[in-house]
Amino acid sequence: MRALISLTDKTDVAKLAKSLQELGYEIISTGGTYKEIEKSGVNVIDISKVTNFPEILQGRVKTLSPYVHGGILYKRDNEEHKKTVEELNIQPIDIVVVNLYDFQNALKTGDHDNIVENIDIGGPTLIRSAAKNYKDVLVVTDPSDYDELIDRLKNDNVDITYREKLAMKAFSLTAYYDSVISRYFQEQVGERSKYRTFGFKKEDELRYGENSHQSANLYIDPFVNGKLTDCEVIHGKAMSFNNYNDLNVAVELADELGANSCVALKHQSPCGVAIADSVSEAYHKAYLADSTSIFGGIIAINGVVDEKCAEEMSQIFLEIIAAKDFDEKALEILTKKKNIRLVKIKFDNDSVKEDIKYLNGKVLIQDKDFGVDEYNVVTDEKPSDEDKKDLEFAMKVVKFTKSNAIVLAKDSHTLGIGGGQTSRIWALENIANNHPDVDFTGCVLASDAFFPFSDCVEFAHKLGVKAIIQPGGSIKDQDSIDKCNEYGISMVFTKNRHFKH
């Protein structure tokens, strides 16, 4: 009986090799793994003694030999196969223990030649050969499986179910590995292939999904270095499916708004948003924008939470506070709340470039909404510089609000957010209905899509709106423009729609 061991991650390799040797297996190995096993005192055969050929091309070719793959792939119950390997003096290999070059880590270097050199060829080939012939060969790709392997071998408990499980893990690893390589080369050439593969690595098992009867897991995408890639939960309960889902929207909006912005969010929808000279002032304004909905919601701060900000935050129940960091006094205050989740975000990380929606038998992939809006004044009245600042702020917020969406804002903070409506006028009316005590006089309005009728302008006028920003593009644009001119409201067309579903 023989086992081939060739590893990049050499965790517990000496222990594994010793255990296999005690069970009667001859150990074959390559390169650095050979040296590691030999150093441990285990008898080990160099791969070149099996292939009858030295490693060549600086290690690029080691195991690509019929003396290796013939020993792995031949079917033990096939007489023709048995005859062939006997005639060619090919010895069986019964266990293959392999993991792969660290291509994912090589990506971080940005050095193309180094990245290419870290594309493993022999490793995936060994894994696929062994996994294909799983009925006769055990393939192990994860160091966490070593103990179970040895235990099953000792107790003669290697059944077909176990073999299939190892094969599943093996093929999953090579598929994952190739997906990262594929995505790298698509980035290199600036073109998307006909075949798209996305490899994700499990990071955590969540208590449940969107609802308690749904199972859920958290995976990491190795190819991107996104805002949540290295997010760190420094206090509180474990994050849930809904926590991560909501946090993503809040962080993306806070990132787009920039320094000292605060986003309060509930069920995927912003409820209060502000930018100010300090994070404490931004939070205070976001809280006042909707002090009802913020309860039990999450907060994203593009900045460092200080003592003053933390003191005000501690007055209500919040699920999550995410920020660049928390100063010592802020942590002292907030960690008194046992269950609140405090999360550190690396806002300097990249933003993901694509949005993926998994449908029932189809997959939609689109570019993220990074379109640059135009700023075309279409009315007699021109927005002031302050109006322009508020209009651009409101448009950024409405972009992250479920369609149909309307945002009213003034002095870089929202006064009301209406989203998720099947009629645009209802989104605006909901703001007024939900905030009956707010004076909207002098505010601006942003809409994620064009006005099909002039009714939104009519209602905006009643509220005291002074400027509107919207994409334009309706066949009845002129009706809205005429109403704005009649009421002395300025209006800007951006040409970019910002639906969010």
- Catalytic positions: 132, 267
Work out the angle at residue 186's Cα, subtended by the Cα atoms of residues 184 and 188, and round it to the nearest 5 degrees: 70
Q: How far apart are CA 476 and CA 136, in angstroms?
A: 72
- CA 230 vs. chain centroid, Å, equals 10
Any idea what DSSP says for residue 145?
G
- Distance CA(241)–CA(304), nearest Å, equals 25
What distance in Å separates the CA atoms of residue 320 and residue 339, rounded to the nearest whole number? Answer: 9
Q: Smallest Cα–Cα separation from 390: which of 497, 469, 282?
A: 469
- Distance CA(258)–CA(1), nearest Å, equals 63
Alpha helices by DSSP H, listed for 400-500, are: 424-434, 455-463, 477-487
HSE-CB for 420 with a 13 A CA cutoff: 7
Residue tagged 């650095």 (tokens): 32
Rounded CA-CA distance 114/183 in Å is 16
Q: Do strands 320-326 and 269-275 pair parallel, antiparallel, or not at all (unpaired)?
A: unpaired
Strand pairing class (341-344; 232-235)? antiparallel
Q: Which among 420, 418, 462, 415 is positioned nearest to 443, based on CA atoms?
A: 415
Q: What element of type H or E holds 139?
A: strand 138-140
Phi/psi at 176 (5° precision): -60, -45
* Whole-angstrom distance, CA of residue 333 vs CA of residue 447: 39
